[in-house]
Amino acid sequence: MHRICKAAIASIWFMLLTLPVLGIKLNTVDRTVSWRFDRILILGAAIFGLALIWDWCFTRKARGLPLLSLPRAGGFFARLATLRQRPRVLTAALGAVLGVMVIMPWVSSFYQTNIMISALLYVMLALGLNIVVGLAGQLVLGYVAFYAVGAYTYGLLNQFFGLGFWACLPVGGVMAILFGLALGFPVLRLRGDYLAIVTLGFGEIVRLTLQNWTSVTGGPRGIDNIPRPGLFGLQMDISASTTYVYYLVLAAVIVTIVVISRLKNSRVGLALQALREDEIACEAMGIDITRVKLSAFALGSCWAGFAGVIFAAKTTYINPSSFTFMESAMILSMVVLGGMGSITGVVIAAMILILVPEYLRAFSEYRMLLFGLTMVIMMLFRPQGLISGERRRYRISAPHGDGKGELP
């Protein structure tokens, strides 16, 4: 009975709070007011049912009882995470995925190819942020600023100096690195919420600068007529150019995955992971905290700069409204949902968060509601993400013949 009363109170509160938004429709032309109590009642019934399910789930969780769906989901994620331990299966799966991605532009529509280009760009961004957040443990909320730096580097260099895409691509990465170092120096001693607030302010400073420096960046009007990537001077129509950009982004994603995979198991990557686990112990072990943090910001921002240059070439038009805080929040959601430090999980999460909303346009009124509900459920029952980042394990073997065997 107590559970039903709590669900009823929650339902009534939601009905009262949403009444001005969902229950009233104002017609400014006829000056009439229409009441939509049916929507409010449906919402109240839905909240009542969800509140009962919510309370039941947390009651079982508090008692240590598993939910019916959790063992199966856990087994699925565990099998997905241990796939790398079976090289033949992993190679076959990667080959199949790569084959599908290669032939996709020839068997799908122009719209599908454009969607996939956007998804692959966000994969690059999420993997870059995964270096800073997932490996180094530094919470950054203004990551989109480096994305904007790369895009505007290409737009401005082309507008004022006539440089092409291939000349601006490395310059965009270098400029993003310089901005990453400029952000990294002032925040060397910050951590946690303070670091997040400073990086959020940095992202807003960059966006407002682009919006108000009208004489250089064009202000809110932005920069248009940015040329697409060229291929040995060949003239391509919009369809062929889109296909070319798709393969370019696909190659960039493959290079990003390979480089970050190698980085993760290198000395720099291990230092980043040590910094994430315990900064004080990391410094006590002789690791240069200053250099490691600056390396994290530089490496993470570099990939955002590359992605920004490709984004500007894809859209041929950029303005400050494309680089808001919501973009940073979306990229961070991909890292958290996929599993911090996990490359496979971040790739899957980026694909899900970009492709699923596009394919659910028929439910456009409820897309964000479903998105928020999915994120809440994931954070409650799978807080480590789809695939948690693997940890290196070492076994110390004693010399042969001393009878001590191996130490775990």
Residue 177's Cα: distance from chain center in Å? 19
Q: In 3D, which of 308, 300, 146 has the Cα closest to residue 223?
A: 308
| Domain residue extents for the chain | 1-63, 86-381
Residue 61's Cα: distance from chain center in Å? 29
Q: According to the CATH classification, is domain 86-381 in 1.10.3470?
A: yes
pLDDT values of the chain reduced to their tens digit, one per residue, 408 residues: 777 888 888 888 888 887 777 777 777 777 777 777 777 888 888 888 888 877 777 777 677 665 544 444 445 555 555 555 666 766 777 788 888 888 888 888 888 888 999 999 999 999 999 988 888 888 888 899 999 999 999 999 998 888 888 899 999 999 999 999 988 888 877 777 788 888 888 889 999 999 998 888 888 888 988 888 877 767 777 888 888 899 999 999 999 999 988 888 888 888 888 888 877 888 788 888 888 888 888 888 999 999 999 999 998 899 998 888 888 888 988 888 888 888 888 888 888 888 887 877 766 666 677 777 777 777 777 777 777 655 555 566 655 555 444 444
Residue 326's Cα: distance from chain center in Å? 11
- DSSP of 331-384, one letter per residue? HHHHHHHH-TT-HHHHHHHHHHHHHHHHHTGGGTTTHHHHHHHHHHHHHHH-TT
CB 294 within 8 A of CB 137: no
141 contacts: CB under 8 Å, gap ≥ 6:
196, 197, 199, 200, 203, 325, 328, 329, 332
Q: Measure the CA dihedral 238/239/243/246, to 10°.
A: 60
390 contacts: CB under 8 Å, gap ≥ 6:
81, 84, 341, 342
Tokens 């530094």: give the residue: 138
